[in-house]
Structure 1
Amino acid sequence: MAEPTPADVERLWEQFHQVVNMTSDEIRVWLLTDASNEDGAFPPDPDMHLPELGTQVVEVLRKRKRDLTPHDTDVMRQVVDYVEDRTENPPPSAERNEEWRRSLMSVGHDPLKP
């Protein structure tokens, strides 16, 4: 795959920040809570399996655009594609479909957030 141009990165940065509507702290707490079924206030157990893509989203959100790596742009593209795909055809009664919402929140998109 070709190296993205600065214009491509700018466009992707904007798309990523449009679909990711949770802060890095909100995602981190959500991932810990979802994985542990607790309050997420403590560091994760090393045996706890946190979603890799979700933890990478947290890392990208904590970066400045100029500090992005090619891996970061891949993560951003994956998240944009995933959220767009999942929200394009939500399940019936989406607000009641907790599994759908949880899958989106694991990458930083809360479909119930305004």
Structure 2
Amino acid sequence: MAGRADPELDELWNEFHAVVNMTSRELNDWLLTDAATDTAEEVPDRAGAPDGRRVLEILGKRRTDLTDGDLSVMREVVSTVTAERGEGLDDPEAGTDPWRHRLMNLGHDPLRPLASDEGVSRVRQRHH
């Protein structure tokens, strides 16, 4: 992926960073809670949902360091969050605890607005 200009990658990057509205620190802290997973993990760096761990890894990367696997996870996160949030993507919504926790495992807290204006407009255009 390194070194090449790719408008599709730029769009995915912006969308991903719009729907992932938790910082890497917040996501990491969340993944360490009991509410983030059904099973307790004894090794803290492997605690939490596997998808959440992948999102956390991606948040720590530069755009040029993304792998094809990362891009797949990013597409899945954007798709899942937009499908789960539906038309209310812009509006903070509490929902049920299991629903909120599922989204938080992907780095999206539905009680917060989306993270970036540029990404938000792209998400709206593509998914509405």
**Shared fold (TM-score, shorter chain, > 0.5):** yes
Shift of 1:88: 0.6
Give the number of aligned pairs: 101
Partners of 2:98 and 2:110 in 1: CA distance: 12
Deviations 1:3-55 (A, max 9, x none): xx811111000000000000111111101113479xxxxxx514976211110
Q: Which amino acid aligns with 2:111?
A: L
Partners of 1:14 and 1:76 in 2: CA distance: 10
Secondary structure of 1:95's match?
coil
- The list of structure 1 runs, each at least 4 consecutive aligned residues, that deviate by more than 3 angstroms after superposition, is 46-49
Q: Which amino acid aligns with 2:85?
A: T
- Aligned pair in 2 of structure 1 residues 111, 35: CA closer, same or farther (>3 Å)? closer
Partner of 1:99: 98
Q: Which amino acid aligns with 1:64?
A: R
Residue ranges of structure 1 left out of the alignment (5+ in a row) = 38-43
Partners of 1:106 and 1:89 in 2: CA distance: 21
Partner of 2:76: 78
Partner of 1:66: 64
- Once the two structures are aligned, what percentage of the paired residues are identical? 42
Shift of 1:66: 0.8
Please report the TM-score for the alignment, with normalisation by the length of structure 2: 0.70
* Deviates further, 78-87 or 46-55: 46-55
Q: 1:45 aligns with which of 42, 46, 66?
A: 42
Partners of 1:17 and 1:106 in 2: CA distance: 15
Partner of 1:54: 52
Please report the TM-score for the alignment, with normalisation by the length of structure 1: 0.78
Partner of 2:10: 10
Q: Which amino acid aligns with 1:28?
A: N
Greater RCO, 1 or 2 (C-alpha within 8 Å, sep 6+): 2
